Amino acid sequence: MSTIQIKSPYVIFLGDIQDKTLAKTGAGLAKWCEPDVLGQVRLSNCKVDLNLADLTLEQALEQGAKSLVIGVAPVGGSIQASWLPTFVKALENGMDIINGLHTDLATIPDLVKAQSRGTGRVINVRQVTEEMPIATGRKRQGLRLLTVGTDCAVGKKYTALELTRALNAEHINATFRATGQTGIMIAGEGLPIDSVVSDFVSGAAELISPDNAADHWDIIEGQGSLFNPSFSAVSMGLLHGSQPDAIVLCHDVARERVSTCPGYPLPALQNCIDLHLQCARIVNPNVRCIGVSINTSSLEPRTRRAYLDKIQAELGLPCVDPLVDGCDALVTALFEQFHQPLGQLHAK
């Protein structure tokens, strides 16, 4: 797997984006790596605010920033020409640029020249340089949970991170396995699964979660959705390569249509669970769904709990917003489903 060490402290570059859903990389780092984040750098017409200190590049340098992290992920992973002057200045002044986009910044002539004039370097997180194997389908030792979703950007990464933290708080051996650029930046290692050639996605997923102790849980960050025509291929490859013993379904209550294909409505939650289980049973007949994670940030506080209770009653599964409720209910459900009482695990 790839490893990355971001020189800190750093600032998050938001460019001139207009849609907050494109800033999930920056938002993730702001939440999970807060001590390392000095603030945000935005161009004049940027309409996205992560509630961080607004800094110019010069101010960031004065405050000791060592890296400029590209905090946006536009569809297709391309950059805008308007961003280049900031990148050039950062490199010339010794700042690294941490790039999670598909575009290889190290090949852009202006940035190549800037690197030659300064000590800053471009670090491409989303580039797969090692050769990937095809999947073997071999059942690996250890336990695996994959977060899956009704669509892209509905909380799969946050759920995996929160669940890992909750398991570790209970002294349960669990590891977050990053499969996207933001998760890799947070964890310091992982594999950008959507940059792998399609024939090798399942093989790459096997590498992400290798053999482990029998009672160890890999909590694998999901990508895309089987119901999103744009990205379903990577979702299926990750699902089969992960061979999950358990899944958690993730959903955003504010989302009604597929983000990249608005002509498609989102599936009913039960239908989404059923399809993921059907596909996962090809590689693990005993897989089960242990709960639902829902982003309720668009709901009023007084209606949020009622909504979650309603979904929980309909599905017969614990239903939480992990950023509000935590993941204790999912942890309990996980070990009830797998007949591993928490008390016995705590005694280990």
Q: Which residues pair with 294 in a beta bridge?
A: 251
Q: What is the pLDDT of residues 224-264, one digit of tens each?
A: 999 999 999 999 999 999 999 999 999 999 999 999 999 99
The share of the chain scoring above pLDDT 70, in percent, equals 96
**CA distances from residue 228 to 220, 224, 235, 242, 321 in whole angstroms, order as listed:** 19, 7, 9, 19, 22
Q: Which amino acid is at 228?
A: N
The CA angle 222-193-227, to the nearest 5 degrees, is 45
Instruction: Give the span between the Cα atoms of 330 and 338, in whole angstroms.
Output: 12
Of residues 115 and 78, the one with the higher pLDDT is 115
143-346 has the same fold as 2-124: yes
Q: What is the pLDDT of residue 339?
A: 67
Class of the CATH-defined domain 2-124: alpha beta
Contact 249, 276 (CB under 8 A): yes
- State mean pLDDT over 163-175: 95
Domain ranges of the chain: 2-124, 143-346
Q: What is the pLDDT of residue 106?
A: 86
Q: What is the pLDDT of residue 227?
A: 98
CATH of range 143-346; options 3.30.70.260, 3.40.50.300, 3.40.50.720, 3.40.50.2300: 3.40.50.300
Q: Which residues pair with 123 in a beta bridge?
A: 98
- State mean pLDDT over 17-34: 91
Q: In the structure, what pLDDT confidence band is assigned to residue 18 with cuts at 50, 70 and 90?
A: confident
Q: What is the pLDDT of residues 325-338, one digit of tens each?
A: 999 999 999 989 88
Q: Which residues pair with 248 in a beta bridge?
A: 147, 291
Q: Where are the alpha helices (DSSP H) in the chain?
A: 24-32, 57-62, 84-92, 109-117, 156-169, 181-187, 201-208, 232-242, 269-280, 301-315, 322-325, 328-337, 342-346
Instruction: Give the span between the Cα atoms of 224 and 33, in whole angstroms.
Output: 23
Q: Which of 28-42, 51-65, 124-138, 330-344 has the lowest mean pLDDT?
A: 330-344
Q: How many CB atoms lie within 10 A of CB 145?
A: 28
Q: What is the pLDDT of residues 197-229, one digit of tens each?
A: 999 999 999 999 999 999 999 999 999 999 999
Residue of 6, 216, 227 whose CA lies nearest to 100: 6
**pLDDT(301) > 50:** yes
Which position has the token pair 């790459």?
204
**CA distances from residue 64 to 10, 37, 38, 206 in whole angstroms, order as listed:** 8, 11, 9, 40
